[in-house]
Amino acid sequence: MANKVMLKISKDALTQIHAHGEQAYPDEGAGFLLGMENGSRDVQAIFPLTNSREDSARHNRYLITPNDYLKAELEAERLGLSLIGVFHSHPDHPNRPSEFDRDWAQPFFSYVITSVQSGKAIESRSWRLSEDRSQFIEERIQIN
């Protein structure tokens, strides 16, 4: 799967993801990726959300509530798009998935992780969980 999967995203959407990570710093910021899948997976909009984890855990955990999930699902439907993934930031940590990320991830979604160092978004990488849940496999990001 590693060489076959790719996530296409506009520069504007990626900029919004970086801005959200910087605004949330030193906490983690998160939201949904909205788009379509026609051979390749295309991000056409993002849906930034408030990190709903309790204060003491927000620096290294994020939570999207079911109500926010529903709002995003309805917004995607309104736009004629689908939820195709989740983005979140890693404040002062690399943009690799943690074990906690793997525990909670699902095979279908793309997981875009942005490293935010000292409040500045550095780089994003995207990952998908393997079907057997044993590992994340990186998918190439193509910026349009």
Partner 1 sequence: MPILRVGPLMRYYIDNKSEVIVRGATVVDALQDAVLQHPALKFHVFDSAGKIRRHINIFVNDQNIRDLQGLQTRLDESDRIILMASISGG
Q: Which residues bind partner 1 (CB under 8 A)?
A: 28, 30, 53, 60-67, 69-70, 73-74, 82-84, 86, 88, 97-98, 100-101, 104-106, 108-109, 111
Nearest-approach distance from CB 69 to partner 1, in angstroms: 5
Q: Which is nearer to partner 1, 18 or 61 (CB)?
A: 61
Contact call for residues 35 and 82 (beta carbons, < 8 A): yes
| Interacting residues of 96 by C-beta distance below 8 A, sequence separation 6+ | 90, 113, 125
CB of 53 to partner 1, least distance (A): 8
What is the C-alpha to C-alpha distance for residues 136 and 126, in angstroms, rounded to an integer? 9
Nearer to partner 1, 10 or 104 (CB): 104
Taking the least distance from each CB to partner 1, the nearer of 14 and 86 is 86
Residue reference for tokens 């990186």: 138
Cβ proximity to partner 1: between 3 and 38 the closer is 38
Can you say whether the dihedral through the CA atoms of 59, 35, 8, 144 is positive or negative? negative
